[in-house]
Amino acid sequence: MIVFYVLLGILGVVVLLVLIALIRTLLTPAKTSDWFPKSDPQREQVYGEILSRMVRYETVSHKGEIQRDKFLGFHALLEELFPLVHQNLEKTEIDGSLLFRWKGKHSDKPLVLMGHQDVVPAEGNWEHEPFSGDVENGKVHGRGSADDKSAVFAFFQAVEELLKEGFVPEQDVYLSSSNTEEVGGEGCPKLVAELERRGVKPYIVNDEGGSIVTEPMKGIKGNFAMIGVLEKGQGNLIISARSNGGHSSYPPKNSPIVRLSKFITELDKHSPMRSAMNRQAKEMFSSMAPYGPFWMRLLFGNLWLFKPLLVLLMPSISPQAAALLRTTVAPTMQTGSDGCNVLPQEATLTLNLRYIPHQDMEESNAAIEALAKKYDLEVHVLDAYPACEPVNTESEAYRLVDSVIGEAFPGLPRIPYVMTGGTDARSYQKICSTCIRFAPIVYGPAQMKGMHGLNEYLDTYSLPGGVDYFKLLIQKNI
């Protein structure tokens, strides 16, 4: 009987808490995002033609190759397109990567504007040739139009226009553009090393990563400024199974491929990675909640009550949600025997991990190693780096960026964003505590699909706002 009353009391408390959450949700006004870029046909046409010329110059990067001569040719095009930048800023070129310094009145709060020159290969059948740069119906077509030559264009054009107006920045401004971002190369680290040598400690670094995203989550309608404040780490692990090989006509038990299959099956069904909702994810979900349907406003608007339930259920509901809450593990490559009738002496499986701070690189790798040991497998870490330190969203530097977005794009909701992909900005973390991942470009579903895929293009209506954003950020950094 005592147990019954205890359970009844617990049930009563739960019902009361849910009732409180319901009342809070009903009393909190729902919000809508109706922001859309203003039409500016004259600027769009001029800007679209400049971006088109940048797209036409093929800048595909390849892992392990510097390709300096190719990028020097692209630099010559940039000099033609942005002559005042090259006449007035101090230029440094390192193996095809670029660093410009615009000397301001002061040097204590330098600003770094970033974007990469290189693009991924363009394979498959495109509706427009991938390096045509065709401008048609308000769209610039081609590889790099969205990722990431649009951002590079925007900050170069912003500086070009400010120079033409005779503006002198209060603080030093650096333009940083590597040629190896897409292959995780040494371009950006070399630029950072040069700034370290000069003793430069940026106040704000502004790179790609987040952007103005259309429908960032299912059920969330409209455009939102997704400001990247946390970047997950990344690692590539090779899992190896060895044996004496042999003929396939008398296969033994637990051959290399069988052991790898058991390993990856258990990893897929029973992940050793722990789910948790860190501060940045909570800020992201709670900021988006008012713009969603009622169920989303109820659950994400009352994380004080529903967070444990969401942490438990979200990874099984959505891969995107799982990536925000835990280290992800993706099998990407396999090797085995070279003959159909030959048992492999060695078979391998490559895993790509994206590390979350609460279970970072060392702990996540150790979890993989423990599971691999169970199946007599070896683990070799090919390359890895930990999650980046998150940006403090209460800091003066973050608030400056947030206010500039609000001024450049009036009415556009701003959302702190947990990034699952990687950027060059991680190299800047060692010299800057406010590395913000935000490209002021509108990425709708077509842009998200086209980046690294077929038929990449960018709507020209994105370009004027991007230029205005960078101009304001330079002007407001005092």
Predicted confidence at residue 438, as pLDDT, reads 97
Predicted confidence at residue 320, as pLDDT, reads 84
Tell me how far apart the alpha carbons of residues 397 and 406 are, in angstroms, rounded to a whole number.
Answer: 14
Give the residue extent of every domain in the chain: 41-231+388-476
Predicted confidence at residue 47, as pLDDT, reads 98
Q: Rounded to the nearest 5 degrees, what angle is found at the Cα of 121, between the Cα atoms of 116 and 122? A: 115
Predicted confidence at residue 452, as pLDDT, reads 84
339-374 burial, b at 16+ Cβ within 10 Å, e below that, comes to: eeeebbeebbbbbebbbbbbbebeebbebbeebbee
Q: Return the amino acid letter for 244.
A: N
Predicted confidence at residue 421, as pLDDT, reads 87
pTM: 0.93
Q: Are 171 and 477 in contact (CB under 8 A)?
A: yes
Tell me how far apart the alpha carbons of residues 369 and 385 are, in angstroms, rounded to a whole number.
Answer: 17
Structure tokens at 191: 């630029």
Q: Rounded to the nearest 5 degrees, what angle is found at the Cα of 79, between the Cα atoms of 38 and 408? A: 20
CA atoms within 13 A on the CB side of 334: 11
Tell me how far apart the alpha carbons of residues 177 and 192 are, in angstroms, rounded to a whole number.
Answer: 11
Tell me how far apart the alpha carbons of residues 103 and 172 are, in angstroms, rounded to a whole number.
Answer: 5
CA atoms within 13 A on the CB side of 243: 23
Please list the rounded mean pLDDT of every run of 10 residues in the chain (478 residues). Answer: 71 82 91 93 97 98 93 98 98 98 98 97 94 96 95 98 98 98 96 98 97 90 96 96 84 91 96 94 94 94 94 85 92 92 93 96 97 97 95 97 98 94 94 97 84 92 97 98
Predicted confidence at residue 11, as pLDDT, reads 75
CATH number for domain 41-231+388-476, candidates 3.30.70.100, 3.90.226.10, 3.40.630.10, 1.10.4160.10: 3.40.630.10
Task: For the chain, report the end-to-end CA distance as a whole number of angstroms.
Answer: 70
317-326 burial, b at 16+ Cβ within 10 Å, e below that, comes to: eeeebbbbbb
- Could you tell me where the DSSP H helices lie in 229-388? 256-269, 279-288, 294-300, 303-317, 319-325, 361-374
Q: Which of 237, 259, 262 is nearest to 329 (CA)?
A: 237
Predicted confidence at residue 357, as pLDDT, reads 95
Predicted confidence at residue 242, as pLDDT, reads 94
Q: Which of 424, 419, 429 is nearest to 186 (CA)?
A: 424
Structure tokens at 447: 């842009």
Tell me how far apart the alpha carbons of residues 244 and 337 are, in angstroms, rounded to a whole number.
Answer: 12
Helices 462-476 and 396-408, axial angle in degrees (round to 10): 140
Q: Are 350 and 232 in contact (CB under 8 A)?
A: no
Structure tokens at 134: 């065709």
CA-based torsion, 164, 165, 166, 169: positive or negative: negative
List all residues 6 or more positions away from 15 whose beta carbon is below 8 Å from its beta carbon.
Answer: none
